[in-house]
A and B are shown apart, each in its own frame.
Chain A
């Protein structure tokens, strides 16, 4: 059974650094097909893709937030960590992690975001 679970602070102050952890089970972060993305959703607003880490440790970031984000993983702990610096009240959102599979199947390459965590609400306020 594949699960992802986000954890981290509920409340952070402006200018502080946010650190979120995604703990996964049911698959290995070292599997060549597997990657994990972080996505956020401000209250009442749309989803926003933030960052991704591939099995080979290659990373990618949202162009608008790249300077503030760092994604990393600890395969032995089955965890993916996202840090976001210089938090602001506009960063108040539910933060999700999601598994992504990259593979060739039926003669085609596929990108498949399949399983998501339940999300964790982070509020930025002094």
Chain B
């Protein structure tokens, strides 16, 4: 059973910087896992933020960036805004054509 692990919760001050990570039980996450990141606010469907590790959608705010960091996929928010308070999910691709979501990170802006 493949498990994708994210920090359950993180807190950041407005204007600050925070990095969320996404680890795989199978080993180091590489670009071949095509990490996708999503933001979900209460009562809403997830919204896509990042694909293929570091690529932004046209609607993704510039303060969001994706990378690989220490064998994990990472999502960094720089200059956090109050509206960034949300749950964030990563999604990894595994050869054989299946995907696994992480357990999500609840980001609090305080």
Chain A: residues with CB nearer than 8 A to chain B? 37, 39, 46-49, 52, 58, 60-64, 96, 98, 108-119
Contacts and interface: CB of A to CB of B under 8 A. Distances in A.
> What size tier do the contact residues of chain B reach?
20 to 34
Contacts of A64: 1
B36 A112 contact: yes
B82 interface: no
Given A64-B1, A112-B36, A49 B99 contact: yes
B48 A46 contact: no
A108 B53 CA distance: 11
Contacts, number: 71
A63 B98 CA distance: 8
Given A47-B89, A49-B91, A110 B51 contact: yes
B40 to A, nearest CB: 8
B102 interface: yes
Given A49-B98, A49-B99, A112 B51 contact: yes
B100 interface: yes
A46 B31 CA distance: 23
